A and B are shown apart, each in its own frame.
Chain A
């Protein structure tokens, strides 16, 4: 699966889609594939302030657990409540229905620190995970 265009990426395999002054955040296809079947996602409350690369929660599969890192400094505006009942959405549709939170971006310049789709693809190739 190719790396979707129009998104920015972190080295920890989160993606962010900028929508005006907000950003929608989730984890990449590679990340969900590495984890295996997701069984639980721990997400922050609305209003929580986060710095770039601060851990905002945790995603659990049967055998592993991974911290989730916020791509950009801001305040949590929305959280995907569906994931509580249907954590499998993260596996089935990581860039769509498996979104995790929407953040109101307060440090727009930080987006420049993130990886472009081709840079993320290169990272995956190094990790042996691009296909």
Chain B
């Protein structure tokens, strides 16, 4: 087998050196009663060409953004990834090293992660970032746990306009620890109801969790939300599912957020049917010791050369064990590297320009689609690259007919919000051409 270099002859030489006659003897500690007496129920090995054929056949059964017009967002965004991203992360030196616990031989990974941590801070306006978490929903759940630890309080207020999966994951994580949740509804403007937020906040609340742009694409006004939370001694946690928006939106750090989490997938890492993804976790310097996840810091070696190391590890599971800030060990380094390469490739003007392109295309689509007969805009407030349409026909039927025209038209919101069961969530990115948008409008109107 091409991944196992040792031949039978090699094995025999080693057995002899060990002083046993067969490999069987090395498994002597495994009780006979639990020895597997049949081959594993896995199909016989395939040659590389056959494996490739088989996988391609499976993939061919899937729609994808190359062959279909993709108008789905909802926490996973169809953005262009420059060729350089993939070429760099396919280098063995980035793809195949271990976690950088031995800094002398890991400076590539460590410097890249230091740059990643910096970029997350620059994008989000926060003071310190960790070296990544699994993805946006669990990162947000960890932010909730951190707020609970820092304040000692047990109530969490979450905006209903936060991604449904993020809210579910936060509940899954925190319900084990006796923490309770309250949800605040959204308004006709498609943003979180500020009056209701005020009502829900009190001195038992550890944090307020909002998302911006929110699940409906609405741009939340974060500064007053921060003030309201701080007024009762609670933290503001802001989740960003679409980080491309930060190319033009005011970063949460400038609005006095205490913890910012994000889904970094949209920064050139691909859709990948939802994963692997990339969780941002950024906060203020004063909370460093409460942060979960790895941290890379700058230092010098014995000869005074600048270098990077994993640091403040005493927060982590391998030292603190049951008192750790989290149990996280492996995170998403390589995906973080992809996002890092993307961010420096786009640069300040590129990130702004791609965000503008998203905003403009979505604005064009919003206007165009709202004019289609039987279709209307559900919310009145400003949006980034997603918006909600109300359809006279059942959204499920609309999507089915769109699919026949190679259009993946959006998300049937009734799947997550019973109060929006006549609505579609539509996302438009720089990957959607005007022709695609016009075709969508035509198809929605029933034209051919």
**A interface residues with partner B (beta carbon < 8 Å):** 39-40, 42, 60-65
CA distance A62 to B319 in the complex (A): 10
Q: In the complex, which residues of chain A have a beta carbon less than 8 angstroms from the beta carbon of B320?
A: 65
Interface assignment of B433: CB less than 8 Å from any CB of chain A: no
User: Would you mind naming 16 contact pairs between A and B with Cβ atoms under 8 Å apart?
Assistant: A39-B314, A40-B289, A40-B314, A42-B289, A60-B314, A61-B314, A62-B313, A62-B314, A63-B313, A63-B314, A63-B319, A64-B314, A64-B319, A65-B314, A65-B319, A65-B320
Cα–Cα, bound, A116→B380 (Å): 76
Most buried by A among B289, B314, B320: B314
**Shortest Cβ gap from A90 to chain B (Å):** 15
Chain A contact surface mostly? strand
The A/B interface has a contact count, at CB < 8 Å, of 16
- The smallest beta-carbon distance between B117 and chain A, in angstroms, is 19
With a cutoff of 8 Å between Cβ atoms, the chain B residues found around residue A63 in the complex are: 313-314, 319
**Chain A residue at minimum C-beta to C-beta distance from B320:** A65
Query: How far does the alpha carbon of A16 sit from the alpha carbon of B320 in the complex, in Å?
Result: 27
Q: Which residues of B contact A39 (CB under 8 A)?
A: 314
Shortest CB distance A68–B (Å): 13
Query: How far does the Cβ of B263 sit from chain A's closest Cβ, in whole Å?
Result: 32
Q: How far is the CB of A55 from chain B (nearest CB, A)?
A: 10
**Bound CA–CA A108/B20 (angstroms):** 67
CB-CB under 8 A from A40, the residues of chain B are: 289, 314
CB distance from B229 to the nearest CB of A (A): 24
One digit per residue, 1 when the CB lies within 8 angstroms of any chain A CB and 0 when it does not, for chain B 288-325 equals 01000000000000000000000001100001100000
Residues in chain B within 8 A of chain A (CB atoms): 289, 313-314, 319-320
Q: How far is the CB of B297 from chain A (nearest CB, A)?
A: 11
Minimal beta-carbon separation of A48 from chain B (angstroms)? 14
In the assembled complex, which residues on chain A have CB atoms less than 8 Å from the CB atom of B289?
A: 40, 42
Chain A residues in 8 Å Cβ range of B314: 39-40, 60-65
User: Once the chains are docked, how many angstroms separate the CA of A65 from the CA of B289?
Assistant: 13
Q: How far is the CB of A69 from chain B (nearest CB, A)?
A: 15
> What is the CA–CA distance of A63 and B319 in the complex, to the nearest angstrom?
7
Residues of B within 8 A of A42 (CB): 289
Write the nearest CB–CB distance from A108 to chain B, whole angstroms.
32
Smallest distance from the beta carbon of B417 to chain A beta carbons, Å? 44
Beta-carbon nearest neighbor of B318 in chain A: A63
Q: Please, how many angstroms separate the alpha-carbon atoms of A62 and B101 in the complex?
A: 13
How far does the Cβ of B235 sit from chain A's closest Cβ, in whole Å? 20
13 new A-B pairs (CB below 8 Å) besides A40-B314, A63-B319, A64-B314? Answer: A39-B314, A40-B289, A42-B289, A60-B314, A61-B314, A62-B313, A62-B314, A63-B313, A63-B314, A64-B319, A65-B314, A65-B319, A65-B320
CB-nearest residue of chain A relative to B323? Answer: A65
Cα of A42 to Cα of B319 in the assembled complex, Å: 16
Residue of B nearest to A42 (CB): B289
Q: How distant is the Cα of A123 from the Cα of B313 in the complex, in angstroms?
A: 30
Taking the closest CB of chain A, its distance from the CB of B374, in whole angstroms, is 63
Q: Across the two chains, which residue of chain B brings its CB closest to A64?
A: B319
Q: How far is the CB of A53 from chain B (nearest CB, A)?
A: 18
Cα-based distance from A64 to B313 in the complex (angstroms) = 9
The winner among A40, A60, A63, A64 for most chain B CB atoms within 10 A is A60
Tell me the bound Cα distance from A65 to B319 in angstroms.
Answer: 7
Q: Which residue of B lies closest to A65 (CB)?
A: B314
Closest residue of chain A to B324, judged by CB? A65
A91 CA to B319 CA in the complex, in Å?
Answer: 20
